Amino acid sequence: MNTIFKSSKSWLFRTATTTHLQTNRTHIHHRCLRQYSQVSELPEPSDDLHQESWRSVEGLVRCSANYVPLSPISFLERAADVYRDRTSVSTLAPNVPAMQELHFAVPMAGAILCTFNTRHDSNMLATLLTHSQTKILFVDHQLLDTALAASSLLNHTHKKPPVIVVITDGSDLDTNINGYQYESLIAGGVSGFNVVRPTDEWDPISLNYTSGTTSRPKGVVYSHRGAYLNSIATIFMHGMGTTSPPSYLWSVPMFHCNGWCVTWGLAAVGGTNVCIRRCDPKDIFDNIAVHKVTHMGGAPTVLNMIVNSPITERKPLPHRVEIMTGGAPPPPLILSKMEELGFGVSHLYGLTETYGPGTLCLWKPEWDSLPVDERLKLKTRQGVRHLGLEAVDVKDPVTMESVECDGKSMGEIMFQGNTVMSGYLKDTKATEDVFSGGWFRSGDIAVKHPDGYIEVKDRSKDIIISGGENISTVEVETVIYSHPAVLEVAVVARPDNHWGQTPCAFVKLKDGNLRNKAYRAAPHQLKWHPGWSSLFPLELFATNVKVDSKAQTMVFIKVIII
């Protein structure tokens, strides 16, 4: 096992830092009260809050005593003093202990950490190595072939490949590439090493590439300040360390938004890192049982995998395990099954450009008395901003006016705050476009409910426009997914001579289910046109669906079984 929180006083020591907020006291109260008012019945703060004014600001200074650039580096230093005996618990996993260590080691050396998606092929990796100007590449031994192929491609284009350091992670593989192996370098060490601190909290700490689902991957630059604030906000909104240090299971890739910034945040609360190489149900249940995991995270696909796992691979949970999920809105059925297994699911929303999660569907006490179906639907909402952000809104992308809080009017989700990226690396135009109007434009379409909670309907590029009306692929997917024979579903647009576009569903069935299964949906499950009031029997695995005979409207859903 690798010790993550070392206590060597030669390079780690406790520091006293204070958060420098460029805002006045009244503004802080307004922000916190405004946030709280969306979760409770507390009224909006009045304009006369703190009426007293400061007649003079003489003597107010910014100096080393009251201002230190924010950086998550300080988390590890504090952990070394307070939680010196806490260690990482690891298995052979893509999220290996070395990956966690490098999240501190690289910025503490004054460099910028760039984490690549482990699913990239050699061509994409070579492109990103060039774009990021990577000088040193730490490679897990299982991905060494991809790294070497990328280096070969760079050599053929007369571009200098980076130095490769192999993370053997206890394997017997012969990895004598340029003589550099991670554990050997660690064993050598530098006794006189001094931490390189950022001179400006806006200095870059990491570079994360977008997934490239809607365009070529873009390099998203994170600052020390943003990483610090988002780390604290993520830990806070997930309830980590409120009573005792958490035990966190790494089912979220650390290469994705730096593990939602939890890589740094865990050090702030002295948490234990439980690393798994494969994210499969058996490993998840085994590690929860052995290491008394309290928290974990994962995309809805991870939740889907857990609830559909064989009973023989499951183990009783030692206690309630809190899991953060983000990405596509999880179907209510999945949430219900997760709760039955003993998981508490919190729904988050964010993008690579917002350091990962930027909003949370905070639970309201009055929802406890609602029927189960209604509670589950409410839980799939994206909710309200976390405290690290200044504002999240749903706006008309043209007029920049906020949409009505009626749960129907659609607009684009937009962000403002310190946990929004600094910009795209070497792409000024894309940066200017996405920040136009003074807000970060997410490209996600949503509605805002009367209580201020937002609910994502689709990506702007994924909305299906049928007969001049917008169809949310998320809504169609949710209805289809509720069929017990469906394992996975994805809905996209297909051309139609009459309607312009109609939905096309790609459906993956669970094992043992035949193609001729039929599904009858309840009325009112799909209402994407204002005039449509009911849904007639839907032959899911046929080729069409009839919608609202009163409106004399027919919508065809092409279904492809995969």
Q: What is the mean pLDDT of each run of 10 residues along the chain (562 residues)?
A: 30 27 36 48 42 52 68 73 46 71 87 88 89 88 90 87 84 62 82 85 90 72 94 89 87 92 92 88 94 91 89 92 84 87 92 92 89 86 88 94 93 93 92 92 92 82 62 71 73 68 73 45 37 31 32 45 56
Q: Are residues 552 and 502 in the same domain?
A: yes
User: Does residue 280 sit within a domain?
Assistant: yes
Residue in the block written with tokens 């046929």: 542
Q: Are residues 143 and 255 in the same domain?
A: no
Contacts of 204 (CB under 8 A, 6+ apart): 112, 221, 222, 223, 224, 422
pLDDT of residue 136: 85
pLDDT of residue 51: 41
User: Does residue 486 sit within a domain?
Assistant: yes
Total Cβ atoms within 10 A of residue 1: 8
Domain residues for the domain of 512 are: 462-561
Strand, coil or helix: what is 434? Answer: helix
Answering whether pTM is above 0.85, one says no
67 by Cβ neighbours in 10 Å (0-12 / 13-18 / 19+) ranks as: middle
pLDDT of residue 176: 53
User: Does residue 255 sit within a domain?
Assistant: yes
Final residue of a domain: which of 358, 383, 408? 383
pLDDT of residue 54: 45
DSSP 161: P
pLDDT of residue 26: 34
Written as six digits, the tokens of 451 are 């209580």
> What is the Cα gyration radius of the chain?
25
Final residue of a domain: which of 142, 158, 183? 183
pLDDT of residue 335: 87
Domain count, the chain: 3
User: Does residue 20 sit within a domain?
Assistant: no
What span, in angstroms and rounded, lies between the C-alpha atoms of 483 and 289? 31
The CATH number linked to 352 is 3.40.50.12780
What span, in angstroms and rounded, lies between the C-alpha atoms of 113 and 422? 15
pLDDT of residue 485: 72
Q: How many residues does the chain have?
A: 562
Q: Are residues 177 and 225 in the same domain?
A: no
What span, in angstroms and rounded, lies between the C-alpha atoms of 188 and 150? 28
8 A C-beta contact, residue 314 and residue 281: yes
Q: Are residues 147 and 279 in the same domain?
A: no
Q: Are residues 276 and 370 in the same domain?
A: yes
The CATH number linked to 539 is 3.30.300
User: Does residue 331 sit within a domain?
Assistant: yes
pLDDT of residue 524: 38
8 A C-beta contact, residue 225 and residue 388: no
User: Does residue 30 sit within a domain?
Assistant: no
Could you tell me which residues are beta bridge partners of residue 391? 416
User: Does residue 9 sit within a domain?
Assistant: no
- Phi and psi at 76, nearest 5°, equal -70, -40
8 A C-beta contact, residue 464 and residue 471: yes
CA 459 to chain centre: 16
Q: Are residues 135 and 219 in the same domain?
A: no
pLDDT of residue 186: 83
What are 517-520's contacts with CB under 8 Å, separation 24+?
517/483, 517/485, 517/541, 518/542, 519/480, 519/483, 519/485
